[in-house]
Structure 1
Amino acid sequence: MSRIDETMEFIPVRIAVLTVSDTRDRSQDKSGDVLQSRIEDAGHTLVERHILPDERDQIADQLRLWCADDGIDVVISAGGTGLTGRDVSVEAHRDVYEKEIDAFGTVFTIVSMQKIGTSAVQSRATGGVANGTYLFALPGSPGACKDAWDEILQKQLDYRHRPCNFVEIMPRLDEHRRRK
């Protein structure tokens, strides 16, 4: 299976967190708190953290802004991945993606099934890449954020994770844009 190769040096990544909610402010943002804590505990850098309403254009604009920032490697959003009319994070993410990481949603569903059973079918968690930046949209519950971080992102954002990880291919994410 997977493992951490302790002989390799840890490489911290720079992460921005976006909470998508029409009702939460910073004092009520438990999912953002969970992500911030786990990011920092893992040795990564939290570069920015914002809260935006469930507005597709605003979310996509923030994602594009962060993807254009050379100081941000990864963007994680929490909230807006459900099935209701106001849940537009997935659509906003897909407006920005150059490539979707199809298996991210599948693996998240498998992890969720172990915790919440068939209720996992209601999540539309997604991942993708744009402008050399990884983007992940997670459900807004603290439990879902813990599961996504602990079971997927913590491992894939650790350069020492074997047999492979997201960090080792970061330098090649935008190779199609470079001059030959």
Structure 2
Amino acid sequence: MTKEFLPLSISVLTISDTRTLENDTAGDALISRLTQAGHKLAERAITPDSIYRIRAVVSNWLVDDKTQVILTTGGTGVTGRDGTPEAITPLLDKELVGFGELFRAISYQRIGSSSMQSRCLAGVANGKYIFCVPGSVDACETAWDHLLLTQLDARTMPCNFAKLVPRLTER
């Protein structure tokens, strides 16, 4: 039995001190891929790499009914300005550790030991998925093409994240 595609409403946040809508190639890559897959862009924003600004944007989307999935790009490295994991982790109800593990394993095949510098992560907060990936176009394409494309598609078997969206707030 073939399941029907269920489009999700996805918001994209670019975390950068230098990017604008005109030069946000990583955000553009995510938006291009999610719309080509049949999903809807709910919102797009760019914020400086500031823990509290990141939390403010993501927190607003967590209480916004039109967003089902949040994708962030940037701020997952190890420099002093990289604060995405510190901003997002306290918001999570559940962490999906397999996302970061798989992303780094896939990245290792492409960039070798440099993949260990990525602190990408994913989880569930207030019934919504949050996926935080590095800020390069290559990293965004890797995350989407190898992990998110299939897991955000309700037709992927034996299981997927999309099918679970209605159950994320069960108690």
TM range, normalised to the smaller chain? over 0.9
Q: Distance in 1 between matches of 2:11 and 2:87?
A: 16
Report the count of equivalent residues: 171
The 3-state SS of whatever aligns with 2:160 is: coil
The 3-state SS of whatever aligns with 2:22 is: helix
* 1:68-107 equivalence runs, <5 A: 68-107=63-102
How far is the alpha carbon of 1:79 from its aligned partner?
Answer: 0.2
* 1:29-40 equivalence runs, <5 A: 29-40=24-35
Q: Contact (CA 8 Å) 1:60, 1:95: kept in 2 or not?
A: no
Q: Contact (CA 8 Å) 1:20, 1:79: kept in 2 or not?
A: yes
How far is the alpha carbon of 1:168 from its aligned partner?
Answer: 1.1
The two structures, once aligned, show a CA RMSD in angstroms of: 0.8
How far is the alpha carbon of 1:114 from its aligned partner?
Answer: 1.1
Unpaired runs of at least 5, structure 1:
none
Q: TM-score, normalised by structure 1?
A: 0.93
Residue 150 (str. 1) matches residue 145 (str. 2): yes
Query: Partner residue of 2:47?
Result: 52
Q: Distance in 2 between matches of 1:161 and 1:14?
A: 18
Q: Distance in 1 between matches of 2:20 and 2:5?
A: 33
Q: Deviations over 1:32-88 (max 9, x none)?
A: 000010010000001111000000011011111101111111000000000000000
Q: Deviations over 1:97-148 (max 9, x none)?
A: 1111011100101110111111100000100110000001100000000000
Q: Distance in 2 between matches of 1:90 and 1:27?
A: 26
Q: TM-score, normalised by structure 2?
A: 0.98
Q: Distance in 2 between matches of 1:11 and 1:56?
A: 33
How far is the alpha carbon of 1:8 from its aligned partner?
Answer: 1.4
Q: 1:169 aligns with which of 140, 150, 164?
A: 164
Q: 1:140 aligns with which of 135, 138, 156?
A: 135
Q: Contact (CA 8 Å) 1:79, 1:138: kept in 2 or not?
A: yes
Identity of aligned residues (%): 49
Regions of 4+ moved over 6 Å: none
Which amino acid in 2 is paired with 1:23? T
